[in-house]
Amino acid sequence: MDKEYINKQLQIWMETFLEIPHPLLGNWSPCPYLKQARLNNKIYIDFIEVENIYQASLNHLHLLENKEAVVLCFDHTKISFDTLETITDDINFAININIDPRKYICLHNHPLHPEFVDQIQTNFTHSGLIILQDFIKLVSAGQKLKEKGYFKYWDEKAYKKVGWRFND
């Protein structure tokens, strides 16, 4: 995996897609808080081996004391989506049991498993990603977006994946 290339593509994806208002989202960007976090150097990006996803994710959680997100990139060709989903579930279970329930959340992205909000493909397509975030901050930010009408542009299937965070 070419780390320099992946890092450049990740930056391009954030700056030219995730941070840009989209007409199908009511002119909201897919990730409304991303630009501020990126500009304030609050996103930590690292590269890990597939066989280390579980332990590396747990080892990087402490960085969330000073960062808004930790993004761990890995070679997605070495892991299936189903295995990645299982590992992500195991990480979230470990966080809830061993650290602090609802303190952190682990999310995943696999290029071979497209994610859509309405008709917009939102996932990164150049590598797999583990995204670690402070769960309380994520829920608080999402609740504010919900109150402003952000999610009314999301299709039901996409919203169901995140709506549980807001007691929906």
Q: Where are the domains of the chain?
A: 3-166
Run of H or E residues at 87: helix 81-94
pLDDT for residue 11: 97
Which parts of the chain have pLDDT scores under 50?
Answer: none
Mean pLDDT, all residues of the chain: 93
Q: In whole angstroms, how far apart are CA 74 and each of 19, 100, 134, 137, 140?
A: 23, 26, 21, 25, 29
pLDDT for residue 55: 97
pLDDT for residue 167: 65
* Rg for the chain, CA atoms, rounded: 15
pTM exceeding 0.85: yes
Q: What residues contact 55, with CB distance under 8 A and at least 6 apart? A: none
Specify the amino acid at residue 44: Y
Q: Contact 47/73 with Cβ under 8 angstroms?
A: yes
**Closest C-alpha among 48, 33, 40 to residue 67:** 40
pLDDT for residue 49: 98
pLDDT for residue 164: 75
Phi and psi dihedrals of 121, rounded to 5? Answer: -75, 125
Q: Contact 55/71 with Cβ under 8 angstroms?
A: no
